[in-house]
Amino acid sequence: MTRKLSIISAVAGAAFALSATAASAVTLKISHNNPEDHPLHKSMSFFADRVKELTNGDVKVRIYANAQLGTQRESMELVQNGTLAMAKSNASELEAFEESYSALNLPYLFTSEDHFFNALGGEIGDDILMSSKDKGFIGLTYYYEGARSFYANKAINTPADLDGMKIRVQPSPSAIRMVELLGGNPTPIAWGELYSALKQGVVDGAENNPTAMTTARHGEVSKVFSKDEHTMIPSVLVMSTRKWDRLSEDQQKAVRQAAHESMDFHRKLWGEIVSKEIEKAKADLGVEFVEVDKEPFIQAVMPMHEELAAKSERLADLIERIKAVK
């Protein structure tokens, strides 16, 4: 409770000072849990710059990195109640707030990067982003973060290699179920605590995209990255419904345009940076990147597709529509 009160105070603390600015000016705060050298922070900075340009300075965006305003979960709760304007979360966290995001957490739902963008860059993606409007927030855009794979201090060539291993997952039912089906022991741990958990042996491994090895320094304590590429879980830039409704129609249009442009900017940036980070992980940290046969992993987790579709007509429809995209 004390921590939550301090976070709320930090978020609201600048409100009085901001009230002294021009009456037409709006300042929106974004919270995220990545460092400032991470591609996501750079893409949100691009978004902030474009919002300022498109609104002639009437709307400004301030970005708070490194979980300064709370964890992803805490930030989402602040966005929902209108205390915080925006946050970067991801589909794993968001499925606890809106079931539509559950579909995006299915392993091997997307067959390629192009499939991902063709599905989420149009009507289906917009449908999901707006599905939470009556729950306190809307989505503005998706940020591609490549495919997630397992990493530990041994190669994970088949699901059998996960037997008995404690694998850190996000606090997501989908992530937990996936690791269970693959034979591992899913262990939800906050992102900020994961480095220590890997170092101290609290968990035996984790799953994420390759940049985790360098930007979060996980390559110092986990030396083998096994490229099973089980999920393509996007980060999502979300905004409080209350804050959104206070913007003028022109300001809303500008924010949406900036968000869409930042999605394209991030795709290009991600492609450039991830290759460099992989080489950096190999050269500076001695991380080994292992190619694996994905088919055993695919077969092990396929029951998740039917299980999720059976939960609601909404999810069944989304899964079918995404798979149908060429």
pLDDT in tens, 194-235: 999 999 999 999 999 999 999 899 999 999 999 999 999 999
Note whether 175 and 48 are same-domain residues.
no
Note whether 134 and 185 are same-domain residues.
no
Does some domain include residue 10?
A: no
Note whether 285 and 164 are same-domain residues.
yes
Note whether 60 and 125 are same-domain residues.
yes
State which residues form the domain around 186: 148-232+279-324
Amino acid 12: pLDDT: 53
Note whether 216 and 265 are same-domain residues.
no
Handedness of CA 73, 75, 78, 79 (dihedral sign): negative
Mean pLDDT of 104-113: 96
Does some domain include residue 251?
A: yes
Does some domain include residue 261?
A: yes
When divided into structural domains, the chain yields a total of 2
Note whether 36 and 183 are same-domain residues.
no
Does some domain include residue 6?
A: no
Rounded to 5 degrees, what are φ and ψ at 90? Answer: -150, 170
Does some domain include residue 14?
A: no
Note whether 118 and 134 are same-domain residues.
yes
| CATH number of the structural domain spanning residue 88 | 3.40.190.170
Model confidence band, residue 158 (pLDDT cutoffs 50, 70, 90): very high
Model confidence band, residue 8 (pLDDT cutoffs 50, 70, 90): low
Note whether 45 and 71 are same-domain residues.
yes
Our CA angle for 313, 97, 6, nearest 5°, is 180
Q: Which tokens in the block code for residue 24?
A: 């037409």
pLDDT in tens, 280-291: 999 999 999 999
Note whether 257 and 270 are same-domain residues.
yes
In contact, 255 and 237? CB cutoff 8 Å: no
pLDDT in tens, 48-91: 999 999 999 999 999 999 999 998 899 999 999 999 999 999 99
Note whether 77 and 209 are same-domain residues.
no
Note whether 162 and 221 are same-domain residues.
yes
In contact, 236 and 159? CB cutoff 8 Å: no
Q: Is the pLDDT of residue 104 over 50?
A: yes
How many whole angstroms separate alpha carbon 213 and alpha carbon 4? Answer: 30
Amino acid 11: pLDDT: 59
How many whole angstroms separate alpha carbon 9 and alpha carbon 98? Answer: 27
Note whether 213 and 310 are same-domain residues.
yes
Model confidence band, residue 9 (pLDDT cutoffs 50, 70, 90): low
Half-sphere exposure of 53 (CA within 13 A, CB side): 10
In contact, 112 and 129? CB cutoff 8 Å: no
Q: For residue 2, how many other CB atoms are within 10 A of its CB?
A: 6
Does some domain include residue 32?
A: yes
Does some domain include residue 244?
A: yes
Does some domain include residue 5?
A: no
